[in-house]
Structure 1
Amino acid sequence: MSFSDNKMLIMPAVDIKNGKCVQLVQGQPGTEQVIIENPQKVARKWQDLGAEIIHVIDLDGALGNRDNINIVQDILKEVSVPIQLGGGIRNQEYAEKLLDSGIERLILGTMAIENPEIISSLSQEYGKDRIMVALDSKDSLVVIKGWREKTSQTAPELGKLLEAKGAGSILFTNVNVEGLLGGFYTEPLIDLLDAVNIPVVYSGGITSLDDLQKLRKTQVKGVVIGSALYKEKIDFEEALKLQD
């Protein structure tokens, strides 16, 4: 599923931890704000409401615990829309397994930043559209390993490097505002958009339809929404009206 030039895709988040759909505050274990049984049914709900793509994150994998591949496979069976998946993808063999299983787009974080050549290899084999890199920014620097370790580079710096290596798109998360339901500021996003030529999807702090309107004024190609949907701060069907 390629990004459209004139569309800002609204992507509902299904984050999986301990076999359940959860929402954490700034990615910290133990801060669960939402806990829902059966992530497969949650994904199906968003599809039934009109989602064109589901954003799935394996939090256990991202935090270095067990993976949730069985649940991911169940989600693939449950829905017919594309799945965008990230979290805990630590080697090329596992990445290939996921892409071969039917995942439409894979989100690579720590592995891509530590070994950018893997992006080149996967992009050549599967196509750039299916390879997204995650740039998670905290205090202006990219963080890795479940947001627990800071790098020395900014998102625009790494964005340019990883684009050159073959990344087809970027997921940019502002960790400083993620999960807090307190809104966000656009400057870090705009700095990244100005630095790269590939599509950028934004995540972090989206709280209202007004926030989505702010993002529509940028060149962002997609928006991931989590807590605001589950806490009913944003009506999903109303949000979808802002896609075009």
Structure 2
Amino acid sequence: MIIIPAIDLKDGKVVRLLKGDFNTVQQVAGDPVATAKTFYEAGARYLHVVDLDGSKDGVRKHSELVQAVVQVGLKTELGGGIRSMQDLEEVFSLGVWRAILGSAAVRDPDFVKAAVDRFGPERIAVGVDAKDGLVRTDGWVKEEGIHYLDFAKSMEALGVKNLIFTDIDTDGALTGPSFARLKFLLEGVSCSVTAAGGVSCNADIQSLVRMGVDAAIVGKAWYVGALDLKQAIEEAGPQ
């Protein structure tokens, strides 16, 4: 299983939120580039970056920072504010390995299909962000009334091969991933599934490995010292 440490950017700072609530924003690290280097030194070879400003406002704001982070050498996936083909072109020009479509994927399935056809399924991932089982958009503040599995299946039908599932109620809460909903998703689609949100310790990583999840995103648990990243990577297997 791939371990993907996370850097969330807001106003140029590395921050974390609790359950996606922007009122809980807390700076958790200094320089994003130095943070990425720490991940690399621990054995990580992938990185998950979210432009929180872009996610909420629909306009990306951290291109220079993202480009600098990419140069550390980690395969970097980026989400937040990617709403058009021009956005994708600009993101990939920064050296980003994979783009994550969230709100745009819910509202414009034709865009998803065009993106997959143009750039290939390995360079496009779709974020399945849900609260109480229902998909949310616009920085997780708008409920779309779509069940997360129905949305995932619709994305798979468009040629999407990579899904990143976040149960919003677990994100940043250090209470463990949403294992039941992850299992339901794994049984419902054949896509590669990345688990995001809730990882609280190394034992959670081991449980996800046993479930057969393809990748796991690690955020707050590492920042607060509750997870040993090097150990997690060693136990998860080759990166």
Task: Name the TM-score, length of structure 2 as normaliser.
Answer: 0.95
**Equivalent residue for 1:35, pick from 4, 28, 32:** 28
In structure 2, what is the Cα distance between the partners aligned to 1:33 and 1:135?
24
- Compute the displacement of 1:125 (Å): 1.3
1:66 Cα offset (Å): 5.4
Percent identical: 33
Amino acid at match of 1:67: K
Secondary structure class of the residue paired with 1:55: strand
Aligned to 1:124: 117
Q: Give the corresponding residue for 1:76.
A: 70
Contact 1:177 1:183 in 2 (8 A): yes
Q: In the alignment, which residue of structure 1 is the partner of 2:179?
A: 186
Q: Distance in 2 between matches of 1:142 and 1:16?
A: 22
- The Cα RMSD (Å) is 1.3
TM-score (ref. length: structure 1): 0.93
Is this contact kept in 1: 2:13–2:27, CA < 8 A?
A: no
2:45 corresponds, among 28, 32, 52, to: 52
**Residue number in structure 2 paired with 1:17:** 10
4+ residue segments displaced more than 4 Å? none
- Check the 8 A contact 2:186/2:193 in 1, yes or no: yes
Deviations 1:42-95 (A, max 9, x none): 111111211110111111111116511111111122x11210110111222111
Shift of 1:103: 0.9
Letter in 1 for 2:217: V
Contact (CA 8 Å) 1:19, 1:38: kept in 2 or not?
A: no
Letter in 2 for 1:52: R
> Whole-Å Cα distance in 2 between the matches of residues 33 and 16 of structure 1?
11
SS of structure 2 residue aligned to 1:152: strand
Q: 1:179 & 1:170 partners in 2: Cα distance?
A: 19
Residue 69 and residue 9 in structure 1: after superposition, are their counterparts in 2 closer, same or farther (change >3 A)? Answer: same
Q: Which has the larger share of strand?
A: 2
2:138 aligned with 1:163: no
1:177 pairs, out of 170, 179, 183, with 170
Question: Counterpart amino acid of 1:170?
Answer: L
Mark the runs of 5 or more structure 1 residues left unpaired by the alignment.
Answer: 1-7
